[in-house]
């Protein structure tokens, strides 16, 4: 009887190792937050959605604009060394309409639009005067509806998918162990009857 038990344990162990590996992978693919660290359900589109932006460069300056609603953040650097430009005068036009710009911090400027921009492409023109240096920069701000922002959130069952895969592996391992035990019993019974 002892060799029968040893054989059964070896078969059960060989079926259990893949199961444990599958469960470890399923556990590892889910995020677990402790108390106070759970930020709730975050929509999938929030992480993937980037704010609309434009970039305009010349030999002297680099201007990047980031639009959030009606607020436009502008970042002005010197092109040769990427250092922020402080105290520059920026005259900004969007689609030919002047937009007032104010300094916010070193190399950072802000503008507030009087009304939201519609979907489509918008012409940007910026005149930069910094000390004795001046330049005219042009860019296009592309505001096409972001499909990811309007996408449906992932179904709840997708969150449970790793656990379902682990459960399926557990059931498969149990079935393999049961079939192996049945074969061992038949082989032992056939060998003992002879």
Q: Where are the alpha helices (DSSP H) in the chain?
A: 2-28, 44-48, 156-159, 161-193
**What tokens appear for 50 in the block?**
């980037």
Question: What is the spatial distance between Cα 177 and Cα 171, in angstroms, rounded to a whole number?
Answer: 10
Mean pLDDT of 112-138: 93
Question: What is the spatial distance between Cα 192 and Cα 194, in angstroms, rounded to a whole number?
Answer: 6
Q: What share of the chain is helix, strand, coil (3-state, %, to 5)?
A: 40, 30, 30
The ranges assigned to domains in the chain are: 2-28+152-193, 52-149
The domain over range 52-149 is classified in CATH as 2.60.40.3340: yes
The phi and psi torsions of 72 (rounded to 5 degrees) equal -115, 115
Question: What is the spatial distance between Cα 30 and Cα 168, in angstroms, rounded to a whole number?
Answer: 17
Question: What is the spatial distance between Cα 173 and Cα 33, in angstroms, rounded to a whole number?
Answer: 30
Residue 150: pLDDT band by 50, 70, 90 thresholds? very low
**What tokens appear for 141 in the block?**
């701000």
Question: What is the spatial distance between Cα 74 and Cα 68, in angstroms, rounded to a whole number?
Answer: 11
Question: What is the spatial distance between Cα 151 and Cα 118, in angstroms, rounded to a whole number?
Answer: 20
Whether pTM > 0.85 for this model: the answer is: no
Residue range 32-90, pLDDT digits in tens? 555 554 555 555 544 456 889 999 999 999 999 999 999 999 999 999 999 999 999 99
């Amino acid at each position: 009887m002892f060799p029968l038990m040893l054989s059964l344990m070896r078969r059960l162990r060989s079926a259990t190792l893949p199961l444990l590996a599958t469960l470890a992978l399923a556990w590892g693919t889910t995020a677990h937050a402790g108390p106070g660290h759970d930020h709730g359900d975050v929509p999938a589109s929030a992480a993937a959605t980037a704010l609309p932006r434009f970039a305009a460069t010349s030999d002297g300056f680099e201007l990047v604009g980031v639009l959030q609603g009606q607020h436009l953040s502008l970042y002005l650097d010197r092109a040769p060394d990427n250092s922020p430009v402080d105290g520059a005068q920026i005259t900004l036009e969007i689609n030919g309409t002047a937009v007032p710009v104010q300094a916010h911090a070193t190399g950072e400027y802000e503008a507030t639009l009087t009304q939201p921009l519609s979907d489509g492409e918008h012409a940007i023109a910026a005149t930069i005067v910094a000390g004795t240096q001046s330049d005219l920069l042009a860019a296009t701000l592309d505001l096409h509806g972001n499909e990811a922002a309007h996408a449906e959130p992932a179904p709840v069952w997708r969150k449970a998918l790793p656990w379902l895969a682990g459960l399926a592996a557990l059931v498969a391992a149990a079935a393999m162990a049961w079939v192996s035990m049945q074969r061992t019993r038949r082989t032992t019974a056939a060998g003992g009857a002879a």
